[in-house]
Structure 1
Amino acid sequence: MERKHFLKSLLLGAASVPALLSACSKESVSPTSSTTTTGTSGTGSGGTGTGSGSCAVAPTETEGPFPTKVPSSYVRSDIRDGKTGYQMDITITLSNSNASCAALAGAIIDIWHCDAEGNYSEYGGTGMQATNYQSVHFLRGRQVTDANGQVKFTSIFPGWYSGRATHIHVHVYSATGTSLKVTQIAFPEGTGTAVAAVNGYAKGLNGYTSNASDNVFSDGVANELATVTGSTTAGFQLAFSMGVPA
């Protein structure tokens, strides 16, 4: 759900949290129209998949049910907050689909994802998430894109929870706080991929929901699929590129 009325300051512009959204449904209202372009090849720790091209506009997805409550408070690149798991270095690159795919500098990117056990910070103690993490803020962060349209985060490889494939939430704003895109990053799956190597941490992959069966990704992940390389011993590197109409 788009949040339109942020203050212009990065550090002071906090938004109120909307009502919890469905965890496993498509976003019903798109803040922007999507454009389809040919994707590039993505590799997942030995596997391959179709990744998003530099000007491909990812579809709009739900930001719920666990969006960051006050994202402007978490301007940081290392979002681990002591959470353990296989290290994952994240690079997200934005281009302006309305300006010949030029690098989009000065945009604000928020990301958030679950921990190794499938839990989110800032929520819990309810039927949706039994473990209560309401008072902590791990695996959430905000950065501003540089001259190349890039931001970098240090995190851990996400776990999974019932009904969802491995994913990362992304919300992109203009420099003045206007919402440009809410989407989610998907991971390559199958033999030789990072998802297979991590194997769901202690949970394993029994009961895991694949991209094809995930209600958010089941219509295709051509413009949402990251490139993921690395290993459990050396750590992982995730790269994701997309265009936004700015």
Structure 2
Amino acid sequence: MEDFIKAAHSNDLEKTQATLCVFSPEQIAGPYFRNDRLERYDITEGADGVPMELVLNIVNFNTCEPVEGLLVDIWHCNAQGLYSGWSEVDPDQEAPSGEIGSIPRTDEDSYLRGCGLTNEYGNCSFLSVFPGFYAGRSVHIHVTVRKLDEQHNDRHVAYVGQLYVPELISSQINELPGYAGRKIARLRNEQDEIYSEMHGAGTLLNMDWVNRGTAQERLLGTVVIGVDPDAFSTYITPEDFDKDTV
């Protein structure tokens, strides 16, 4: 990911283009996908944690060109491992299934979820907080890429994946107030079966601190995701949108 041009300010990041063409294999969506269509940059909703900005650069793997107008969703747990919509599910116990709709929703919260459209440079950005972890998984962020039709129908999911965090960053954050003191130990990436299946699947975030020591201090994570916009993912199908939890 060294060829991804990283800038220090959001205005510059909006114009960033990938100089590296990659293909990003898919990974499971997990049980906590929702179709709220919350189009927003700031997805925190007051959630506590270390500020984090993500810039996802979506390119067409067939042409290596950025793709404008794709709908990008992200969702992840909070600092203590809880997902909005399932805030009463114990993060210290492994989820019984990894399938969409397999776990009944417990609430209507929507923190740390959002979506946005890629710009002409293929970029979509989000302001969030660094995620915690839950039993059986290393730190990760879920992402989907959808192709809208002329009626803005959002059921064409072209790509489903997960983004991972460098171990050095995870270990540092895990010692901070709000993240530390868990009953269970955090899994490292190489201990996570889903990560190991794909060797990270090319979706390890390039992450570092920006504006260190100022009021705007945050972690900045960037990644290039290569997709086929015309593909139909088997991990989130049109039928999945009819499930009660979605």
Matched-pair identity in %:
29
Q: Distance in 2 between matches of 1:65 and 1:53?
A: 34
The aligned residue for residue 187 of structure 1 is: 165
Contact 2:91–2:134 (CA under 8 A) maintained in structure 1: no
Deviation sequence 1:150-175 (CA, Å, 0-9, x none): 01100000001111111000010013
The aligned residue for residue 63 of structure 1 is: 29
Q: Which of 113, 117, 120 is equivalent to 1:144?
A: 117
Q: Give the 3-state SS of the residue equivalent to 1:194 in structure 2.
A: helix
Contact 1:97–1:245 (CA under 8 A) maintained in structure 2: yes
Please, which runs of 5 or more residues in structure 1 have no aligned partner? 1-38, 43-51
- Is 1:85 aligned to residue 49 of structure 2? yes
Question: Closer, same or farther in 2 for the Cα pair 1:75/1:129, shift >3 Å?
Answer: farther
- Is 1:170 aligned to residue 170 of structure 2? no
- Is 1:113 aligned to residue 76 of structure 2? yes
Question: Closer, same or farther in 2 for the Cα pair 1:239/1:78, shift >3 Å?
Answer: same
The aligned residue for residue 227 of structure 2 is: 244
Q: Distance in 1 between matches of 2:87 and 2:122?
A: 34
Contact 1:90–1:239 (CA under 8 A) maintained in structure 2: yes
Code of the aligned partner of 1:71: D
Question: Closer, same or farther in 2 for the Cα pair 1:57/1:161, shift >3 Å?
Answer: same
Code of the aligned partner of 1:182: V
Contact 1:194–1:230 (CA under 8 A) maintained in structure 2: no
Contact 2:80–2:91 (CA under 8 A) maintained in structure 1: no
TM-score, structure 1 normalization: 0.71
Question: Closer, same or farther in 2 for the Cα pair 1:160/1:53, shift >3 Å?
Answer: farther
TM-aligned CA deviation for residue 128 of structure 1 = 6.6
Question: Closer, same or farther in 2 for the Cα pair 1:195/1:205, shift >3 Å?
Answer: farther
Contact 1:84–1:156 (CA under 8 A) maintained in structure 2: yes
The aligned residue for residue 67 of structure 2 is: 104
Deviation sequence 1:88-123 (CA, Å, 0-9, x none): 011000000122x00111111000000000000011
The aligned residue for residue 226 of structure 1 is: 205
Contact 1:54–1:94 (CA under 8 A) maintained in structure 2: no
Deviation sequence 1:2-44 (CA, Å, 0-9, x none): xxxxxxxxxxxxxxxxxxxxxxxxxxxxxxxxxxxxx6479xx
Q: Which of 184, 187, 205 is equivalent to 1:209?
A: 187
TM-aligned CA deviation for residue 149 of structure 1 = 0.1
The aligned residue for residue 76 of structure 1 is: 40
Q: Distance in 2 between matches of 1:228 and 1:126?
A: 29
Please, which runs of 5 or more residues in structure 2 have no aligned partner? 5-17, 94-104, 230-246
Q: Distance in 2 between matches of 1:197 and 1:179?
A: 35
The aligned residue for residue 14 of structure 1 is: none
Q: Give the 3-state SS of the residue equivalent to 2:180 in structure 1.
A: helix
* Shift >2 Å, 4+ stretches: 39-42, 52-55, 124-130, 202-206, 231-234
Aligned Cα RMSD in Å?
Answer: 2.6
Contact 2:142–2:163 (CA under 8 A) maintained in structure 1: yes
TM-score, structure 2 normalization: 0.71
Contact 1:40–1:53 (CA under 8 A) maintained in structure 2: no
Q: Which of 82, 88, 99 is equivalent to 1:125?
A: 88
The structure where helix makes up a greater share of residues is 2
Contact 1:117–1:203 (CA under 8 A) maintained in structure 2: no
Question: Closer, same or farther in 2 for the Cα pair 1:53/1:215, shift >3 Å?
Answer: farther
Contact 2:163–2:204 (CA under 8 A) maintained in structure 1: yes
Residue correspondences, number? 192
